[in-house]
Structure 1
Amino acid sequence: MSTILRRLPPSEATGLRTGARHSLAEVYRPADLVVLGLGVMIGAGIFSIAGEQAATTAGPGVILSFMIAGIACLLACLCYAELSSTMPTSGSAYTFTYVIFGEVWAWIIGWALILELQFAAAVVARAWAAITVGAISHFGIRVPAADLVQDGLVLLILVLLTGIVALGARVGLRALWIMVSAKLLAIGAVIVVGVAHVDVANFGDFYVPPQPLDTAPATVLGVFIGEGQAFGWFGIFAAASAIAFAYIGFDIVATSAEETVNAPRAVPKGMIRSLVVATVIYLAVALVMIGMAPYTEISEESPLAGAFRAVVVDWMVHVIDVGAVLGLTTVILVLIVGQTRVLFSMARDGLIPRGLATVSRRYHTPTRVTLVIGLVAIVLAEFVPVLTMQQLVVIGTLFAFAFVAAGVIVMRRRMPDLERGFRVPLSPLLPALSLVATLWLMVNLRVLTWAWFALWMVFGLLVYLVYGRRHSLLARPSTPPPRHPHGRHRR
């Protein structure tokens, strides 16, 4: 049992023990991290999630749902900020857990992150293809064999973005700046034009009397207290759980720590600022959408576009299409970057084949693992019904959130003298609140999602016992990192 629970010493979490800890070039500055966060947090959902939840679950109270979800995610973000400032490494929650709780728990978190990021890339790529086909049709162009076209578009976007990430962080960063700037312009147009058509009467008092909810999928919470209600306070909190999915992504900023200048201070600022900016943008779009049309008249399929059509501003539909396509493009790009860095860290620790930790001499990126991730994403998106499994992305993320929140509390007790570039205020109260909020979001997920997640974890533990436990670098005698003939660490 002691071998399974062996912990990575804090000094080695960002040291040169593996010969690769600092082999990734520093390319990110604080503003880049904000763009990275906005790139993954603001996708096509910004144009739909407020309308969907208002129409089916929360009514005008969806505005309160956005605030509740934002607060819950901010608590988690603060916890990530402290641990990232202490251990600025590309492993993020995986490495934090390795140091604080031990190897087997680190593997479990790493396995959950693989589920989150790999499935997310496939899900978003499939959604991107569908939205792109829809955008083309809105211009009056008929798309024959739409399903085949979508399959081709999925392949195109994943090959293109995998190639961009493989060519280097600087290339991906330039592309990200251009696309994020363009989609923010589209969102700005939505807000500015939409405000002119807001009717304050549509907001009511933000509260709609509760109604029985008989058709919702069974959640863990519903198993114990019975299926809840639409609207009312229960509906507002239920919508907050769904909306939290929109904010998820700030944690991926932590995976860039090893490539960030002055990471102990820059990464916490980048994560917190990007989440705050994203929350404000989501709230602004939600206010405009709810203000433009009564929640009872909002279309669930295309809520924002429908609202603009209702006020006879049809040309905004094309702006929304462009924003949605760009939004999902940046989400896929950042997801591939995040997944690459997590697997890279696990590989150089020996828990998965170390060959995946090879850094290209030409491009200075973990090209090999990037190509593997891109290939797996293509297979999932093309051959697995990933759009029916979106909640697996959420549960993998929330599972990591829970360990990070607990990790702040435990690390403060076990390692109080470690240097921290950022400290969660009011600890252990705020980390404990973060843990409670995360668990609340998790019990609002479907029972079927939990079942699939449990199976994934059991499979992961088998992989660890068969391979990771024996090949871990901590299972070997300590040796200096290999060097190539010119005296530099082998990359």
Structure 2
Amino acid sequence: MSTILRRLPPSEATGLRTGARHSLAELYRPADLVVLGLGVMIGAGIFSIAGRQAATTAGPGVILSFMIAGIACLLACLCYAELSSTMPTSGSAYTFTYVIFGEVWAWIIGWALILELQLAAAVVARAWGEIAVGAVANFGVRVPASGIVQDLLVFVILVLLTGIVALGARIGLRALWIMVSAKLLAIGAVIVVGVMHIDVANYGEFYVPPKTLEAAPATILEIFYGESQAFGWFGIFAAASAIAFAYIGFDIVATSAEETVNARKAVPKGMIRSLVIATVIYIAVALVMVGLAPYTRISEDAPLASAFRAVGVDWMVHVIDVGAVLGLTTVILVLIVGQTRVLFSMARDGLIPRGLATVSRRYHTPSRVTLVIGLVAIVLAEFVPVLTMQELVVLGTLFAFAFVAAGVIVMRRRMPHLERGFRVPLSPLLPALSLLATLWLMVNLRVLTWAWFVLWMAFGLLVYLVYGRRHSLLARPNPPPRPVHGRHRR
């Protein structure tokens, strides 16, 4: 048992002995990290999630739901910020757990991150295909009723973005800046035009009396509560759990730490700033959404577009379509980048085949693992009904959040001497609150989601026992030296 609980020394996590953790070139600066965070946190959901949750779960109180979800994610973000400033490495929560709790727990978190990032890339690509087809149709172009066009578009976007990531981080960063700037302009137009058509009467009472649903309890919380409800405070908090899916992504900024200039200071600032900006933008769009139309008349399929049509501003539908397509494009791009860095770290530690940790001498990127990730994403998006599995993405992420929050508390006690570029204030109170908030969000997810998650983790544990435990570099009495590429700038 002691072998699977062996911990990675902090000096190994940051590459102080061999320089192996410095094989990726420094590229990102603080502003780039903010764009990276906004690239993944603000997708097409910004135009739909507020309306959908208002119509079905929280009413006008959905605005409070956005605030609650934002606070819960901010607590988790502060914990990520401290650990990233202590261990600026591309492994993110996987490496943090390796150092603090041990190898088997690190594998479990790494396996959860694989689920989060790989499945998310496929889910978002599938959604991108649907929205792209709808956007073309809204411009008056006839699209064949079959799904061939959508399948082709999904294939093309995944191949294109995988190629961009494989060919170089700088190319991907430039593309990200352009697309994020464009989608922020679209969102700005939605807010400015929407404000001019708000009817304050639509806000009514933020609190809508609870409504008991006839459906059987579907979430862990509902099983203990005894019944399913919508609206009321129960609905507001339930909507917050769904909305947390929109904010998820700031943790991917942590995977860029190894490639960031002055990472100990820059990564915490980049994560926190991007999350705060995204929260403000989401709340602003939610205020517009609820103010444009009564929540009882909001369409679940295209809430914001239908609201603008209801007030006679039909041309905004095209702005929303363009913003949604750009939004999802940047999400896919950042997800591939994040997944690449996590698998690269796991391969470098020997827990998965080390050949995946090869850095291309020509492009200075882990291009081999990037191509594998892109191929898997294509297979999932084209042949698996991934749109029904998006809650698994949320659960995998929240699972990592819980370990990071606990990790801050444990590391403060076990390793108080380590240099920290950022400290969570009021520790251990805020990390404990982060852990509780994360657990609350987790119990609001469906029982079926938990069942699939348990099966995935059980399979992952089997993979570790068969392969990872024996091939781990820490399992070797005299591990071979890792190649030192040197930390350089491009």
TM range (shorter): over 0.9
* Structure 1 residues 473 and 172, CA gap change in structure 2 (3 angstroms): same
Equivalent position amino acid for 1:416 in 2: P
Q: CA 1:454 to 1:17, structure 2 compared with 1: closer, same or farther past 3 Å?
A: farther
C-alpha displacement at 1:223, in angstroms? 1.2
Q: Distance in 1 between matches of 2:479 and 2:399?
A: 34
Matches within 5 A, 1:203-218: 203-215=203-215, 218=218
Greater than 4 Å deviation, 4+ residue runs: 16-19, 486-489
**1:252 matched to 2:252:** yes
Contact 1:17-1:480 at 8 Å conserved across structures = no
**2:488 counterpart of 1:467:** no
C-alpha displacement of 1:477: 2.2
What displacement does 1:217 show? 6.3
User: CA deviation digits over 1:211-262, x for unaligned, max 9?
Assistant: 1122376101111112332111111011001001100000000000000000
- C-alpha change, 1:206 and 1:462, in structure 2 (3 Å) is same
Preserved contact between residue 16 and residue 481 of structure 1 (Cα < 8 Å) = no
Partner of 1:283: 283
SS state of the match for residue 229, structure 1? Answer: strand
Distance (Å, rounded) in 1 between the aligned partners of 2:337 and 2:272: 19
Is residue 433 of structure 1 aligned with residue 430 of structure 2? no
Please, which moves more after superposition, 473-482 or 36-45? 473-482
Give the direction of change, closer, same or farther, for the CA distance of 1:277–1:483 in structure 2 (3 Å limit).
Answer: closer
Shift, 1:488, TM fit = 11
- TM-score, with structure 1 as normaliser: 0.97
Aligned with 1:361: secondary structure? coil
Distance across 1 between alignment mates of 2:51 and 2:69: 16
Residue by residue over 1:189-225, the C-alpha shift from the partner in whole angstroms, topping out at 9 and shown as x without a partner, is 0000000000111111211111112237610111111
Deviation track 1:23-79 (CA, whole Å, cap 9, x = no partner) reads 100000000000000000000000000000000110000000000000000000000
Does the aligned pair in 2 maintain the 1:66–1:240 contact within 8 Å?
yes
CA contact (8 A) 1:133 1:146 kept: no
8 Å CA contact 2:24–2:487 kept in 1: the answer is: no
2:26 maps to which residue? 26
> What TM-score, normalized to structure 2?
0.98
State the AA in 2 paired with 1:472: S
For residues 149-160 of structure 1, what are the structure 2 equivalents within 5 Å?
A: 149-160=149-160
Superposition CA RMSD, Å? 1.5
Matched with 2:133 is 133
Number of residue pairs aligned between Structure 1 and Structure 2: 488
Kept in 1, the 8 Å contact 2:168–2:365? The answer is: yes
- Uncovered stretches (5+) of structure 2, i.e. residues with no partner: none
- Give the AA of the match of 1:301: D
Distance in 2 between residues matched to 1:462 and 1:69, nearest whole Å: 34
- Give the corresponding residue for 2:190: 190
Distance 1:334 1:483, change over 3 A: closer
Residue pair 1:17, 1:481 contacting (<8 A) in 2 also: no
Distance 2:168 2:324 in 1: 25
Paired position in structure 2 for 1:397: 397
**One-letter amino acid matched to 1:477:** P
The structure-2 alpha-carbon separation of the partners of 1:124 and 1:376, relative to structure 1 and needing over 3 Å to count, comes to: same
Q: What percent identity do the matched residue pairs reach?
A: 89
Q: Secondary structure at the match of 2:433?
A: helix
Determine if contact 2:473/2:479 at 8 Å carries over to the other structure. no
Cα distance per residue 1:415-439 (max 9 Å; x no partner): 0111100000000000000000000
Tell me, yes or no, if the aligned pair for 1:10 and 1:99 is still in contact at 8 Å.
Answer: yes
Q: Does the residue aligned with 1:3 lie in a helix, a strand or coil?
A: coil
Maintained 8 Å contact 1:16/1:22? no
Partner of 1:310: 310
> Match for residue 88 of structure 1?
88
AA paired with 2:68? I
**Cα displacement string for residues 391-413 of structure 1 (whole angstroms, at most 9, x for unaligned residues):** 11000000000000000000000
Q: Which amino acid aligns with 1:348?
A: R
Task: Tell me, yes or no, if the aligned pair for 1:126 and 1:381 is still in contact at 8 Å.
Answer: yes
Deviations 1:349-370 (A, max 9, x none): 0000000000000000000000
Contact 2:20–2:482 (8 Å) recurs in 1: no
Q: Which runs of 5+ in 1 are unaligned?
A: none
CA separation in 2, counterparts of 1:313 and 1:125? 29
CA distance in structure 1 between the partners assigned to 2:420 and 2:480 by the alignment: 27
- Please state how far the C-alpha of 1:151 moved relative to its aligned partner: 0.6
Question: Does the CA-based 8 Å contact 1:41-1:249 persist in structure 2?
Answer: yes
Q: Check the 8 A contact 2:82/2:424 in 1, yes or no.
A: yes
CA deviations 1:66-115 (Å, max 9, x no partner) are: 00000000000000000000000000000000000000000000000000
Cα distance, 1:457 vs structure 2: 0.5
Verify the 8 A CA contact 2:11 2:17 in the aligned structure 1: no
CA offsets, 1:432-490, max 9 Å, x none?
00000000000000101000000001100110000000000001123462559x9999x
CA offset at residue 17 of structure 1?
A: 5.3
AA aligned to 2:378 is: I
What's the secondary structure of 2:147's corresponding residue? helix
**1:21 partner SS:** helix
Deviates more, 1:59-68 or 1:475-484: 475-484
The residue that corresponds to 1:272 in the other structure is 272
